[in-house]
Amino acid sequence: MAALHFHFDIDGEDFSSAGDASVVMKKKLRQLGFPSDAIRRCSIAMYEGEINMVIHANGGTADVDVYPDKIVIVLEDHGPGIPNVELAMQEGYSTSTEQIRNMGFGAGMGLPNMKRYTESLEIETKVGVGTKLTMVVGV
């Protein structure tokens, strides 16, 4: 069955609006009648990714393909890339600034949370070029 496709441009300039795309996507999934547990897992994973793109990469794009049995989220940015993915996946490891921590993020839980709430998380990253995350949420 063909997927429903949703595209979002993530503004990297404005931290206070970060998360808007995840909010819109959550409402779409609710309208489509997905189970609340799947919606929550999808929303949290996408939200963490969106916040990461704003904090680290000056924004990017989010593309979500919705199938009856899974939701595929692709987040792509042209930020600095992740030099050490293994380290970035450890809970508590963070390269965020004090300023970001004062806003309630940068605790080193972003990527671990994305992994926690999805069936699969694939990270393609190159230092100085950017990062592409592909997450699959089962329904």
Partner 1 sequence: MILREIADLLRARILSSEDMLETEVQNAFCCDMMSDVLAFATNQSVLITGLLNPQVVRTAMMLDMHCIVFINGKEPTPEIVSLADANDIVIMVTDDSMFRAAGTLFGTGLLNADEV
Binding residues (CB under 8 A) for partner 1: these are 15-19, 22-23, 26, 36, 40, 43-44, 47-48, 51, 101, 103-110, 112-113, 116
* 67: nearest Cα among 95, 29, 31: 29
| CB of 60 or CB of 126, closer to partner 1 | 60
Which two tokens mark 42?
């999808």
d(CA 127, CA 110): 19
| CB of 34 or CB of 105, closer to partner 1 | 105
C-beta of 107: minimal distance to partner 1 in Å? 4
C-beta of 62: minimal distance to partner 1 in Å? 15
C-beta of 2: minimal distance to partner 1 in Å? 28
Answer for the pair 122, 136: CB distance below 8 angstroms, yes or no. Answer: no
| Ordered strands of the 59-66 beta sheet | 4-11, 59-66, 70-77, 130-138, 120-126
| CB of 9 or CB of 126, closer to partner 1 | 9
